[in-house]
Amino acid sequence: MQTCVITPARLRVSQIGLGCVTFGLEIDEAAAHGLLDHAYARGIMFFDTASAYAQGASESIIGRWIASRRPAAGAVTVATKILPPYEPARVVDSVGESLQRLGLDVIDLLYLHRWDATAESPAALAALDGLVRTGKIRALGASNYNRQQLETALALQQQHGLERFSVVQNNHNLAVSDVSAEFRQFCAAQKIAIVTYSPLGAGFLTGKHRRGVQPGSRFDLVPGHQDVYFHEEAWRRLARLESVAARTGQSQAHLALAWALHQPGVASVLVGGRTPAHLDQALAAQTLDDPALFAELSADSETPQQLVRQAGSEANSNHPR
């Protein structure tokens, strides 16, 4: 499995990361540990969770896996996220709670889960800086931020001499994207690593919701996904994917995963799931690298509507992921 090193903390992340949003919500602990075992055995060593996932259960499940499997120091990289409001005392408490659930002394990568007005408080950013300086966090990141929000945060961190965000994590797939070409260029210039999630659009790109939300699916358990995907642009892009899949004989999932895994400027793509087979299809998609095919799939993906969505101050603040 190819890995990428993210500076300045020199975090090592695998090209495919394991998104652990399903843990404790869609699958139980035994199934989650089986998925972690399967991922680790195949070179996936970047695990992504959040305090909000199953109200902390996802972090606890990962913590018990680490305690029982005892991977060598540095063999896995764990990222988690905290929710707003980001008042200084709450930031410190939230990180302490995540460390306790994970059973770790240090969090490799901590994200602010989404933008909030309190995230632009120098005191909140100073609290994060203090946690890095005291060794509780190795690196800082921002999740579900647009360019304007990220640019403002970086400027504040520079102005006050604080630890800066070195990673951004956003939604990015053939149907819906919060990673425009302009956003990638900005991150490259600022030396911000990009991590993307939902390469299959939480199942939307498989086409299984064509006739309505499937019971027990992510769209059923987290209804906010419906607002993100059930609109004209996303349905049109799904139709394009379906057409290319029919013509090439490749499955929609295989094409969508391959496209996401070969996007320029992306350090890691988070893949979630309920069974090892979900990871295996992502691993298989690594072998499909066809720039012409990818260009056909995304020929109309960067529309004016997407750019407006990327620039809007509320573009990412209510994303269900």
For the entire predicted model, the pTM comes to 0.92
Whether 318 is covered by a domain: the verdict is no
Buried b (16+ CB within 10 A) or exposed e, 142-164: bbbbbbebbeebbebbeeeebbb
Two tokens, residue 106: 């240090």
Query: Lowest-pLDDT range, 7-11, 139-143, 230-234?
Result: 7-11
Per-residue tokens: 300 = 């109309």
pLDDT value for 68: 98
Residue 319 in domain: no
CA 181 to chain centre: 18
Question: Strand 3-6 vs strand 11-14: parallel, antiparallel, or unpaired?
Answer: antiparallel
Q: For the chain, how many structural domains are there in total?
A: 1
pLDDT in tens, 29-46: 999 999 999 999 999 999
Give a yes or no: residue 59 inside a domain. Answer: yes
- 306 falls in which pLDDT band (50, 70, 90)? very low
- Position 12 in a domain: yes
Q: Are strands 16-19 and 107-112 parallel, antiparallel or unpaired?
A: unpaired
Residue 321 domain-assigned (yes or no) = no
Per-residue pLDDT band at 310 (split at 50, 70, 90): very low
| CATH code of residue 291 | 3.20.20.100
> Of 53, 86, 111, 197, which residue is the catalytic one?
53
Q: Tell me which residue range forms the domain holding 150.
A: 3-311
Question: How many residues are present in the chain?
Answer: 321
Alpha carbon dihedral 7, 170, 87, 186, in 10-degree steps, equals 60
Query: Does the residue 177 lie in any domain?
Result: yes
Mean pLDDT of the chain: 92
Residue 238 to residue 264: CA distance in whole angstroms: 21
- DSSP for residue 23: B
User: Which residue did the predictor score with more confidence, 314 or 47?
Assistant: 47
Q: Which two tokens stand for residue 89?
A: 């005392």
Report if residue 316 sits inside a domain.
no
Tell me whether residue 245 is in a domain.
yes
Q: What is the pLDDT of residues 78-96, one digit of tens each?
A: 999 999 999 999 999 999 9
Q: Is 40 a catalytic residue?
A: no
